[in-house]
Structure 1
Amino acid sequence: MVHFSGIIEKWRNGIHLFIHIQVICDADLIFINIIARWPGSVHDARILRESALFRAFESPRKPLNGVFLGDRGYMLRDWLMTPILHPATQRERNYNFAHSSTRTTVERSIGVAKRRWHCLRTGLRLEPAKACQVITVCLMLHNRATRLRLDPPDSDDEEEEDDDTDEEDEGEHPDHEIDPRERARRNAGHAVRQRLMNEYF
């Protein structure tokens, strides 16, 4: 399983311009997909929708088997599992707990990367385009260090990431005014999520 999240970085001259970074990591804290180019005001789901990864997984022949985990700011798909907005049964609560517990992996990976590269914590005094390049390279170097099993620097004040959002799961919106193809994809996601709950929770 892999996970979605975001990192926010600062710009210079006392003006805080936010860059929204969307990452996917695996269970070994390796970043396997990085999108670093969107301003902080852009919704998570739009960043995903505009990505090559989204187009690949929306195609009939998906590039790999398995599912991604994303917070409730993302759309539900048969390849992207999101939390249940209002869990009503113990099975749904168990699913949400497992989903949240597993998704903390991406928070840990971001925390480790920030410990390795102090500039990811303090902000970058660079133009936004150059800052995005530096962030991407830092995350690539984090991957290399992780594969070499290098310990990250110790830090007493390590920040914890919170990638959850107050926005509703796109899959929970009412059916009216939804494109029929979008409704079909959302329904396929509901079916996969229900099957996972039935089999494992």
Structure 2
Amino acid sequence: MAALQRIIELNRRRRRRSDVVYVHAYIRQNFNPMEVLSDEAVVRKYRLTRPQIRELLQLVHPHLVRPTRRNFALTPAVPSENEPIYLCRKGFPALNVQVVCDHRGVFTDIVARWPGSTHDAYVWANSALCQVAEGGGFGGCWLLGDSGYPLRPYLLTPFQQPNTAAEARYNRAHIATRAIVERAIGRWKQRFRCLSKMAGGVQLHPVKCCAVAVVTAQLHNMAVRANVPLPEEDMVLEEDVADLPHHDANPQGLAVRNQLVHHMFHP
């Protein structure tokens, strides 16, 4: 309210062009959307509720600086000499982001640092979560991955060519369960449209794109846990293209998968 009164006062007194510029600058630097937007408008514009935004601001406040006109926009940068390594399987520049989620669609792990041409299996092999899994940190739990990932005792993949009815049932259950992460990624992109190629993508330097992916994933988790509704805008889902099958026949992985099929999917 004080800012509005100040603007009215400046408008009454303005005589020169410099006053008009000052009014515009004052509006830009002193407008607080949290004071004027409705709860629905806040969620629609910022993808989080008002209490969540306040909580988030308290966490990052020590690292913030006073906003000025100089940092109102970020300059995009596109790779030039290294552009071919960023071309993904679909033929456009991208990052290969690996995510793991739970049954609610909350992301529990994210790796966002590899160019789009990197194979999924390579991203996994060089991740911290892989080292934890290799060290037995998963206990009796399993991850589900598509055929682009290696079969391991802790990482179950589908059969490339199921030979029995039980293996076919396993594949159907595997696909249905793995769809949770695919839907989670779709909701993540729907909440933050800048992540979707259909909406133009994140036109920033790859290093900044990695940071955007990680931060928006954390914000999305906050929204999912608080049951914040998704934006109402229609979202065109992007067709995923699976990586080339990974033919690493790990004996321990084969044994675990066959045992699971025998106990859970045989008639």
1:191 aligned partner, one-letter code: A
Is 1:41 matched up with 2:105? no
Match of 1:106?
Answer: 181
Please state if 1:29 is matched with 2:131.
no
Q: CA deviation at 1:12?
A: 5.2
CA distance in 2, matches of 1:63, 1:95: 21
Residue 50 in structure 1 maps to residue 99 in structure 2: no
Cα shift at 1:168: 1.9
1:163 is displaced (CA, Å) by 5.5
* 2:248 matches 1:171: yes
Mapped pair 1:195 → 2:256: no
Which is bigger in relative contact order (C-alpha 8 A, separation at least 6)? 1
- CA 1:199 to 1:63, structure 2 compared with 1: closer, same or farther past 3 Å? closer
- Structure having the higher strand fraction is 1
Q: Which residue number in structure 2 is paired with residue 18 of structure 1?
A: 94
- CA deviation map 1:121-150 (0-9, x unaligned): 121121110111011101110000000011
Give the deviation of 1:13 after TM superposition: 5.7
Structure 1 segments unaligned to the other structure (5+ residues): 1-10, 173-185
Give 3-state SS (helix, strand or coil) of 1:35's partner.
strand
Is the Cα contact below 8 Å between 2:167 and 2:261 reproduced in 1? yes
The 3 A distance-change label for structure 1 pair 17 and 164 is: closer
The structure where helix makes up a greater share of residues is 2
Q: Give the structure-2-normalised TM-score.
A: 0.62
Identify the residue that residue 95 of structure 1 maps to in structure 2.
170
Mapped partners of 2:242, 2:142: distance in 1: 18
Q: Does 1:130 align with 2:208?
A: yes
Larger Rg: 2
Under a length normalisation based on structure 1, what TM-score does the superposition of the two structures give?
0.82
RMSD (CA atoms): 1.8
Q: Find the partner of 2:157 among 69, 82, 104.
A: 82
Alignment-derived partner of residue 28 in structure 2: none
Does the C-alpha gap of structure 1 residues 103 and 160 become closer, same or farther in structure 2, counting only changes over 3 Å?
farther
SS in 1 for 2:248: helix
Task: Report Cα offsets for 1:31-81 as digits up to 9, x if no partner.
Answer: 00000000001100000101111111112x324431000000110000000
